[in-house]
Structure 1
Amino acid sequence: MSKRNMQVVLRQAVPGLGKPGEVVSVRPGYARNYLFPRQMAVRLTPGLLKEQQMRREQEAARKLAEKQQAENYKKALETIGRFVIRKKVGEKDLLFGQVTASDIAEVVLATSGLDIDRRNVLLDEEIKKTGVYLVQVKLHPEVTATLRIQVTPE
């Protein structure tokens, strides 16, 4: 029996070993008796290694393209400058209710045509009065745009 480890590529997450697509070194018996029969891993071959490298390069290119698109969205949103939301107002410029992240997402879609997720709108404070507010919108894990929201009476 060989005491040397063998290289395998995981097809699914294995607790304590790794995530799908990772190349890990395991004992031959563990691979032969546990990983291979359950189709959790395959033996590493030169062709598979090349395929893994191509997959990583494609993933990196896709992530770079997503970040570039987020940068373009940020530039477009900040070029527009100000988004106007009209709400019913009571005494002392207090709103009936408040401006929510959904309201901001809707006005951005209506004004710019860019569909942003309401969960990515970061409100530092509750907007309950008329005025101009700065709101952060997370477009990508590394790209955040700052919008000027003007709340006016209906």
Structure 2
Amino acid sequence: MKLILTADVPNLGAPGDIVEVKDGYGRNFLLPRKLAIPATRGAEKQVAAIQRAQKARQIRDLDHAKEVAGQLGGLSVTVTAKAAGDSGRLFGSVTAADVVEAVRTAGGPPLDRRAVEVPGHIKTVGTHAVTVRLHPEVTTDLNIAVVAG
């Protein structure tokens, strides 16, 4: 199955890449999650627009990624959860979008939520580590404090 990627897919490609994948992987994983669109003549014309939009969001180069990683290293990030039980268990979980919003309010650099990798589900208050993938060669760990709101 020939597809055009609309998002970064690990071990497959970047947005705008035209890839050939097995039918089941494309039908059951990539297409339902809106990570790819079928490669038709009309869609191939959209590749340039997809790549331009990705470049606008992307970290410029390796040096810029290292600079952003340095900014994130010295940042104290607190995520306020909506509610928690008596034992410190959250009603819900902390998502990558919550982490990005907390970094922005803490005065950090703007991040793409797809670059933030939250391990499993954060469902308790306390300090947790998340990974931020800024560049293919630069990843950084960010400690976040989750407090009940």
Q: TM-score, normalised by structure 1?
A: 0.55
Name the aligned partner's letter for residue 79 of structure 2: I
Deviates more, 1:67-76 or 1:87-96: 87-96
**Aligned counterparts, 1:4-153, within 5 A:** 66-80=61-75, 82-87=76-81, 88-153=83-148
Count of matched residue positions in the alignment of Structure 1 and Structure 2: 89
The two structures, once aligned, show a CA RMSD in angstroms of 1.2
Runs of 4+ aligned residues of structure 1 deviating over 4 Å after TM superposition are: none
- Equivalent residues of 1:84, 1:152 under 8 A apart: yes
User: Which has more helix, going by share of residues?
Assistant: 1
In structure 2, how many angstroms separate the alpha carbons of the residues matched to 1:119 and 1:76?
A: 19
Q: Percent identity?
A: 35
Q: Is the 8 A contact 1:77 1:112 kept in 2?
A: no
How big is the shift at 1:108? 0.8
Runs of 5+ consecutive residues of structure 1 not aligned to the other structure? 1-64
Decide which structure has the larger Cα Rg and report it.
1
Residue type of the alignment partner of 1:98: S
Q: Write out per-residue CA displacement over residues 92-132 of structure 1, whole angstroms, 9 at most, x where no aligned residue.
A: 11111100000001111111241111111111221000010
Q: Which moved more, 1:99-108 or 1:112-121?
A: 112-121
TM-score normalised by the chain length of structure 2: 0.57
Matched residue SS, 1:116: coil
Q: What is the CA deviation profile of residues 38-85 of structure 1, one whole-angstrom value per residue up to 9, with x for unaligned ones?
A: xxxxxxxxxxxxxxxxxxxxxxxxxxx6110010000111012x3111
